Chains A and B, each alone.
Chain A
Amino acid sequence: MTERTAKQAAARNRDGRLAYLPYLVPGVLLFIAVIGVPFVMNLYTSFTEWEGIGTPRWIGLDNYTELAGDGDFWASFRNNVLVIVGMAIVPTAIGLVLAAVLTDLIDRHFGPRTASVLRACIYLPQVLPVVIAGIVWSWLLNPESGAVNELLDAVGLGGLAHDWLGDPGTALWTVMAVMVWVQIGFPLVVFMSGLQRVDPSLYEAAEIDGATWARRFRHVTLPQIRPEIFVVLLWTTIAALKAFAHIFVLTKGGPGGATNVPSYYSYVSFFERTEVGYGSAISTVLTLIILALTVVFLRMQGRDLGEER
């Protein structure tokens, strides 16, 4: 390219950039109306006392100081940590092992069809709306004549049968188990597609060197799909922090707050107690945590990628 045409191209580019701006207008306007304005309003109401009608009264940081001393709020966060275990950490761990088994063993010994049928079965709960999954499970776990208790009875473990979601001691663990069932398919599918990238000769080389399955898993599979592990962990952890429908349908935060989480707590403050300012403060704290987590994860991921290069 000669210098003149290069200059012309650059000039055209500059005009070009401006000319593309109109395409951004509808998106930006709608974004401001649906995300930007409501977000700022929510932030503002978190500094006020407001019942949803009348004028909000400015009270500064009072909602936040009240939150800091609110035992229910801290309990809801402790519950949310366990929800993260049930929705993000356990499914990611299980998903990794299953993805490796399906790709490395089932696919190679029994063909890709078998592997993809198994994958589809495990993925199926993922496409269910959370509400439907919740209805299914609260019915299966029903203390009177629910299928789970009946099944325990049938195999002679009737002594274990009880009100899984109604007992404060087991409610949260039961919710976590349901979440694992719902969630497993997502990491599995992502990891399996990630493993397609891995050069099969790496496995062959490891095999010839006499590496056991467990060692190949640790030294070949895990390092190869690290980017996917980061993405899945971030995505599922954020989903866990936002878990609302699960709790709404399964337990409504009960019994006695045993399964309350911040997202459900803010919903109750908004629409049941009509303490809108307080609810806004809860959801603002939740937002900050999610944003901080996203930044930390992206940093870690960036450093990770940087090292590999």
Chain B
Amino acid sequence: MTTLTTRTAGAPAGERRRSARRTRRRRRRGPSAYAVLVGMTALAAIMLIPFVVVVFNALKSPAEYSANGPLAPPEGLYLQGVRDFWERVDFGRVLFNSALISGSVAVGAVLLSVLNAYALGIGRVKGRMWVLVVLLMANTLPQEALVYPLFYLSKQFGLYDTRLGVIIVFTVIQSAFGTYLLSSVLSTFPRPLLEAARIDGAGRWQILWRVVVPVVRPTLSVLLVFFFIWTWNEFLIPMVFLQSNDNQTVSVALGVLHGQRLMDATMSSAAALLGLIPTVVFFLIFQRTLSRGLTAGAIK
């Protein structure tokens, strides 16, 4: 696939070179430009095929699956498989757990990042570079190097198999990145704005919430989205922490069930469909925020 796109991509240049002298700025769609478009569309289709196949098969009855195979589109809407699976894993509860954990982490980690970054970026606390380097290392640390002590400590403190334990751990892990990003944003915060607020008699606490936070709100919303999705997608630590079915997240419940190798083909596709839907929904909602956020992150 790649070789195809690169090869076709090379072609239009020569052709355009000739036309460049005649029309420098006018868009010109030669046949080779269309070839590139076809190649890219084919690639996009290949990327999407797994999603389509999952949807097809989640809507088939087991009998239809064994008769027509996985590639045929479904003949009707058979929702029983999805419904059975929903009840089997108590998917409503699992979904609620994921939303609760990811939502709490997103809010908590943004708050923590704001406080940290206020001290580091605006307060310019001594040794701030050192603090940032340590935080950055924490962000790149493999979770494998933390998971066993966290597991052990959570048992000592009664946080094992609680959603609160997972929330605390990820609030800290996510806020490391948030602090890093926000500190560099806040270090360029316009000083006159702060001075003006100070002259008006505002204290530091008021300045933070009335002046600083409103100005960086777009960045905060990007962080909120990132933290939510990152936490939603986490697997290792939630799996180790959340032993009982009542507390498990979507990824943990589906991953553990999958690991037991008990699922048949239609059940697997029902599981995959139920796992897909929330993230595709987030994707559609957050797509703009996400690409904006990536732009901000990439240049930093």
Where the two chains meet, the residues of A that have a C-beta atom closer than 8 Å to any C-beta of B are 16-17, 19-21, 23-24, 26-27, 30-31, 33-35, 37-39, 41-42, 45, 52, 94, 97-98, 100-102, 105-106, 108-110, 114, 117-118, 120-122, 124-125, 127-132, 134-140, 142, 145-147, 150-151, 154, 181, 184, 189-190, 193-194, 196-197, 204, 207-208, 210-214, 216, 227-228, 231, 238, 241-242, 244-245, 248-249, 252, 262-263, 266-267, 270-271, 276, 279-280, 282-284, 286-287, 290-291, 294
| Bound Cα distance from A281 to B28, whole angstroms | 60
Looking at the assembled complex, report how far the CB atom of B142 sits from the nearest CB atom of chain A, in whole angstroms.
Answer: 5
Residue in B70, B153, B279 whose beta carbon sits within 8 Å of that of A150 in the complex: B70
| Of B73-81, B88-96, B214-222, B247-255, the one touching chain A | B247-255
A117, B229: Cα distance in complex, Å: 21
Cβ of B104 within 8 Å of any chain A Cβ, yes or no, is no
Inside 8 A of B233's CB, which chain A residues have their CB?
A: 128-131
Q: Which of B14, B71, B268 contacts A151 (CB 8 A)?
A: B71
In the complex the two chains form, is A34's CB within 8 Å of B254's CB? no
Q: How far is the CA of A294 from the CA of B50 in the complex (A)?
A: 34
Query: Per-position contact with A for B261-283: 1 when CB-CB < 8 Å, else 0?
Result: 00001001101100110011011
With beta carbons under 8 angstroms apart, the residue of B145, B265, B279, B295 that contacts A193 is B295
B residues in contact with A267, CB < 8 Å: 144, 147, 236
Tell me whether B135 is interfacial, beta carbon within 8 Å: yes
How many residues on chain B are close to A (CB under 8 Å)?
Answer: 104
- Whether B135 pairs with A31 at a CB distance below 8 angstroms is yes
Q: How far is the CB of B118 from chain A (nearest CB, A)?
A: 5
A181 closest partner in B (C-beta) = B47
Complex Cα distance A17/B123, Å?
5
A212 CB to nearest B CB, Å: 4
Looking at the assembled complex, report how far the CB atom of B185 sits from the nearest CB atom of chain A, in whole angstroms. Answer: 16
List the interface of chain B (C-beta within 8 A of A): 2, 5-6, 9-14, 16-17, 20, 24, 27-29, 33, 36-37, 40-41, 43-45, 47-48, 50-51, 53-54, 57, 65-66, 69-71, 112, 115-116, 118-120, 122-126, 131, 135, 137-138, 140-150, 152-153, 168-169, 171-173, 175-176, 179, 204, 208, 229, 232-233, 235-236, 240, 250-252, 254-255, 258-259, 265, 268-269, 271-272, 275-276, 279-280, 282-283, 287, 291, 294-295, 298-299
Query: Which residue of chain B has its CB nearest to the CB of A197?
Result: B299
A124 to B54, CA, bound (A): 14
Contacts of B2 in A (CB 8 A): 94, 97
Q: Is the CB of A30 within 8 A of B172?
A: yes
Q: Which residue of B lies closest to A132 (CB)?
A: B275
Distance from A269 Cβ to chain B, minimum over Cβ atoms (Å): 9
A24 near B125: Cβ-Cβ < 8 Å: yes
Report B292 CB to chain A, min CB distance, Å: 9
